Amino acid sequence: MQKVKPTVLILCTGNSCRSHLAEGILRAVAGDSLNVQSAGSKPAGYVHPLAIQVMQEIGIDISAHHSKPMNDFLQSPVETVITVCGNADQACPMFPGQVNRHHWGFDDPAHATGKEEEKLAVFRRVRDKIKMVFEAYAAGRCDQVKAMQLT
């Protein structure tokens, strides 16, 4: 019998930048051990083109992602909810099966102003911060799974 992968749901307000950066990175580093999804409390309806671009720079393709409302997951078993902006943290309901909840806030790169290169610099900075946090989270989850297998 195959065990169901735990679902990790990453939430932000618009589900256009930060949550997709985090989803792409966590999927890449967690491999098949987690079912990683993202959603928004007020979905923007698109994934920001600069988010797609800065992820391609590190070899992760999020061009097929789409913006989804968090209500789409209210009937699904969600083991862990991670909010990446304050508004989503405040709006976040409890999900069926939810065991863990984390809030790691990041600046919203969608609010970056200036020339294209200046905006890209903001997206890269936020991406790199998200990458550092979610790679550490994934490493901890892998250690947790290994420890459970030893007992």
Query: CATH classification of 7-150, choosing from 3.30.565.10, 3.40.50.2300, 3.40.1390.10, 3.30.360.10?
Result: 3.40.50.2300
Q: Which of 60, 82, 92, 133 is catalytic?
A: 92
pTM value?
0.89
Q: For 50-81, give one letter per residue: b (16+ CB within 10 A) or e.
A: bbbebbeeeebebeebebbebeebeeeebbbb
The string of pLDDT tens digits covering residues 41-62 is 899 999 999 999 999 999 999 9
Q: Which of 12, 17, 21, 122 is catalytic?
A: 12
Could you state, in order of their start, the residue ranges of all structural domains in the chain? 7-150
pLDDT in tens, the chain (151 residues): 456 788 999 999 899 999 999 999 999 999 888 999 999 989 999 999 999 999 999 999 999 999 999 999 988 889 999 999 877 666 666 676 777 889 899 999 999 999 999 999 999 999 999 999 999 999 888 666 555 555 5
Q: Which of 47, 54, 85, 126 is catalytic?
A: 85
Q: Is 12 a catalytic residue?
A: yes
Q: Is 85 a catalytic residue?
A: yes
